[in-house]
Amino acid sequence: MENKFGWLEKKTPRSIEQLRLWNENPRLNPDEKHITLADFTEDLIADGNEKKHFFELLKAIASEYIPADPIIVWKDEESQKFYVAEGNRRVLALKLLNDPNKARKSIRAY
């Protein structure tokens, strides 16, 4: 029997800088442009409840991150860049923790 989930066993460590957030993520508003990390942040935390959960995620990653939940990435053959299919909020959190100056000023202090 063919193993449909063999790809789950193929874990390849990648630097957070190599990963791109996916513009077509269903959580994002398709009417808005997402170019910078601040753009993604603004859209992903537009709702007050989502903002609260995102801040909790930032705090958890900064204080006790355990990389057990895989981040699913696909490679665009044309651009040769890696895009996040699953784990966009975690990758966004890691990118902002790595370089807080890329966050919107309204949340940078957090």
pLDDT of residue 42: 86
Q: Tell me the whole-structure pTM to 2 decimals.
A: 0.73
Q: CA-CA distance, 51 to 53, in Å (whole number)? A: 5
How far apart CA 17 and CA 98 sit, in angstroms, is 9
- Quick one: pLDDT at residue 2? 61
Element housing 92 (H / E): helix 88-98
Q: For 33-91, give the DSSP string.
A: ---SHHHHHHHHT-SHHHHHHHHHHHHHHHHH--TTSPPEEEEETTTTEEEEEE-HHHH
Which of 12-16, 65-69, 100-104, 105-109 has the least mean pLDDT?
A: 65-69
- The DSSP output letter for 30 is T
Query: What pLDDT shows up at residue 78?
Result: 92
Cα–Cα separations (whole angstroms), residue 99 to 37, 92, 95: 10, 10, 6
Which pair of structure tokens corresponds to residue 97? 């923790």
Q: What is the percentage of the chain residues whose pLDDT exceeds 70?
A: 88
pLDDT in tens, 4-49: 666 666 777 788 888 898 888 888 888 888 888 888 888 888 888 8
Range with the largest mean pLDDT of 1-10, 57-66, 89-98: 89-98
